[in-house]
């Protein structure tokens, strides 16, 4: 076993330019839109682990709390006034009623603090009974925000697919969730603590992007990394 541990640090904050707007990609998987003072997140999947428990798999009931902590920290850090969740905020339609008391109180505090917009997703198509506004989709600053990506879109931001990039460089390889866009369609990584991911080279992404214009930004530990698409591998 051998490895390189440290690299010269890149300190500047990466800017993600999409459809003429500037965004700040956060290592948590959130995307901050300064001009709109809005934090965008996708696929929170609150109460995912608890929903396994009802099938007899007692996964730790802490994922919702962890996801909430990430949200709280991102909002504090960015000073966002608005939160837009791009669907699949809850893992199940009825999950908002299953929240533990403490998680429920934290979520209420959050919806009191910022203007929350919950877009519907395939996991949570119906409006839920928590603070904020539930909408099917949202137009903001000339862009459309929705859950599921569509082919031939122009200025569409979506989630749903949980994109991840797997790169290979000098014998090392790493696979992490990522932002991916072609300047017409942008897909956010899944934000929830309990969410898995799908390689952007897999068939689920087929035909969505104009390949030569592809830009990929991977989530690191404390920062994000825009990476060269030619380093992408499957798996």
Partner 1 sequence: MPDLRVTTALPPIIEDWFAGKGWSPRQHQLDVLASWQAGASALLIAPTGAGKTLAGFLPTLVDLVDGKFDGLHTLYISPLKALAVDVQRNLNAPILEMGLRISAETRTGDTPASKRARQRTKPPHILLTTPEQLALLISHPQAEILFGSLKRIVLDELHALVTSKRGELLSLALARIAKLAPNLQITALSATVARPDLLRDWIAQPTLRETHLLTTTGGAPPVLEILETEQRLPWAGHSANYAHADLYEVIKQHRTTLLFVNTRSQAELLFQGLWAVNDDMLPIALHHGSLSVEQRRKVESAMVAGELKAVVCTSTLDLGIDWGDVDLVVQVGAPKGSSRMLQRIGRANHRLDEPSKAMLVPSNRFEVLECEAALEAVAENHQDSEDPVNGGYDVLAQHVLGMACAAPFDALNLYDEVRRAWPYRDLPWEQFERVVDFVATGGYALRAYERYARLKRTEDGLWRVANPQVVQQYRLNIGTIIEEPMVRVRLIRSRGFKKGQSKSPIGAGGRVLGEMEEYFFGTLLPGDTFIFGGEIVAFEGLKDNEAFVSRAQSANPKIPSYMGGRFPLSTYLADRVRLILDSPDEWKKLPDQVSDWLRLQRDVSVLPRRDSLLVETFPRGTQNYLVCYPFEGRLAHQTLGMLLTRRLERARARPLGFVASEYALAIWGLGDLSALIRSERLSLDELFSEDMLGDDLEDWLDDSALMKRTFRNCAIISGLIERRHPGKEKTGRQITMSSDLIYDVLYQHEPDHILIQATRRDAARGLLDIERLGDMLRRIREHIEHKPLERVSPLAVPILLDIGKEPIFGEGRESAMADAADELMREALGSDPI
For partner 1, the binding residues (CB under 8 A) are 1-7, 10, 49-50, 53-54, 56-63, 65-66, 100, 166-174, 176, 193-197, 218, 220-221, 225-228, 231, 233-235
The conformation of residue 96, written as its DSSP 8-state character, comes to G
Cβ distance to partner 1 smaller for residue 117 or 215: 215
- Which helix (H) or strand (E) element contains residue 156? strand 156-158
d(CA 70, CA 168): 29
Cβ distance to partner 1 smaller for residue 22 or 228: 228
The nearest distance, CB 59 to partner 1, in angstroms, is: 6
Cβ distance to partner 1 smaller for residue 62 or 205: 62
Degrees to nearest 5, angle at CA 81 with 96 and 149? 60
The nearest distance, CB 83 to partner 1, in angstroms, is: 22
Q: Quick one: which of 170, 115, 146, 144 has its CA closest to 42?
A: 146
Cβ distance to partner 1 smaller for residue 113 or 198: 198
The nearest distance, CB 135 to partner 1, in angstroms, is: 29
The nearest distance, CB 134 to partner 1, in angstroms, is: 25
Cβ(224)–Cβ(26) below 8 Å: yes
Tokens at residue 52, please?
């396994």
The conformation of residue 78, written as its DSSP 8-state character, comes to H
Long-range CB contacts for residues 49-56, cutoff 8 Å, separation at least 24: 49/194, 50/95, 50/98, 51/91, 51/92, 51/95, 51/98
Cβ distance to partner 1 smaller for residue 149 or 192: 192
The nearest distance, CB 67 to partner 1, in angstroms, is: 10
Cβ distance to partner 1 smaller for residue 37 or 205: 205
Please state, as a whole number, how many other Cβ atoms lie within 10 Å of the Cβ of residue 194.
22
The nearest distance, CB 55 to partner 1, in angstroms, is: 8
Cβ distance to partner 1 smaller for residue 22 or 174: 174
- Which helix (H) or strand (E) element contains residue 72? helix 63-78
Long-range CB contacts for residues 53-60, cutoff 8 Å, separation at least 24: 59/194
The nearest distance, CB 213 to partner 1, in angstroms, is: 14
């Amino acid at each position: 076993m051998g490895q390189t541990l440290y690299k010269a640090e890149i300190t500047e904050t990466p800017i993600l330019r999409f459809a003429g707007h500037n965004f700040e990609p956060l290592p948590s998987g959130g995307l901050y839109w300064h001009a709109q003072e809005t934090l965008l997140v996708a696929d929170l999947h609150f109460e995912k682990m608890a929903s396994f428990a009802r099938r007899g798999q007692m996964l730790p009931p802490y994922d919702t709390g962890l996801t909430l902590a990430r949200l709280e920290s991102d909002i504090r850090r960015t000073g966002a006034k608005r939160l837009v969740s791009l669907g699949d905020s809850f893992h199940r339609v009825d999950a908002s009623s299953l929240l533990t008391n403490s998680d429920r109180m934290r979520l209420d505090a959050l919806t009191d603090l910022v203007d929350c917009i919950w877009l519907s997703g395939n996991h949570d198509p119906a409006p839920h009974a928590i603070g904020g506004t539930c909408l099917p989709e949202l137009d903001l600053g000339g862009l459309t925000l929705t859950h599921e990506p569509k082919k031939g879109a122009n200025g569409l931001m979506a989630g749903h697919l949980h994109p991840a990039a797997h790169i290979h460089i000098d014998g090392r390889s790493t696979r992490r969730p990522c932002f991916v866009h072609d300047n017409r369609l942008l897909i956010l990584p899944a934000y929830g603590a309990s969410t898995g991911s799908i390689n952007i080279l897999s068939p689920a992404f087929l035909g969505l992007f104009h390949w030569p214009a592809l830009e990929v930004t991977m989530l690191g530990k404390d920062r994000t990394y825009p990476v060269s698409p030619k380093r992408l591998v499957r798996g």
